[in-house]
Structure 1
Amino acid sequence: MTIALMWEAKAVEGRGEELLTWARARRLDPEPSRRETFAAPGERVLVITWWDGEDDLAAELPELPAPEPGVAARPVHRWRFRQV
């Protein structure tokens, strides 16, 4: 079974590249089996991580934190999905 964690943040206007660089530099321990980072209009950044062997949406898994104050325009959104 696989759990996918989605982390999405919107940068303060003009700070999208900074947010993208920050998100790409964050390391998780342990590392996920797969990780992808996306950018979208509106200075939004999305990071999806895949974790193998988990079958519990409430499983303890490392997640990206919220960026430092002043970078994000709103609280980070997080979602968890179970492979079906």
Structure 2
Amino acid sequence: MTVALMWEARAVAGRGGELLAWARARELPRVPLRRETFRAPQDRVLVITWWDAPYDADLPELPEPDPELVTRAVHRWRFEAVDGD
């Protein structure tokens, strides 16, 4: 089964580049099948990792950034693939 973990944070206004660099520099203790990083308006950063694991597996996730870098707690979601690879 393929599980996708989504991590999304919103930086303090004008600090989106810092948050993006912070997220890209974070290494996970295990290497996922795939990892992609995105940015969006309002200084938001999204990281998606894909894993070959059961839905409820204990998988490594990015931590919370320093509170002074973000406007709120990180949002996290877990999905399982239903079609394709």
TM over 0.5: yes
Q: Find the aligned partners of 2:54 and 2:25 in 1 and give their Cα distance.
A: 28
Matches within 5 A, 1:1-84: 1-52=1-52, 54-56=53-55, 58-84=56-82
Q: In structure 2, list runs of 5 or more residues that go unmatched.
A: none
Flag as ranges the 4+ runs of structure 1 deviating above 3 A. none
Q: Find the aligned partners of 1:17 and 1:25 in 2 and give their Cα distance.
A: 12
TM superposition shift of 1:29: 1.2
CA offsets 1:35-82 (integer angstroms, 9 cap, x no match): 000000000000000001x122x2100000010120011110000001
Q: Find the aligned partners of 1:69 and 1:81 in 2 and give their Cα distance.
A: 26
Work out the number of aligned pairs and report it.
82
Report the TM-score when normalising by structure 1: 0.94
Report the TM-score when normalising by structure 2: 0.93
Q: Find the aligned partners of 1:55 and 1:8 in 2 and give their Cα distance.
A: 22
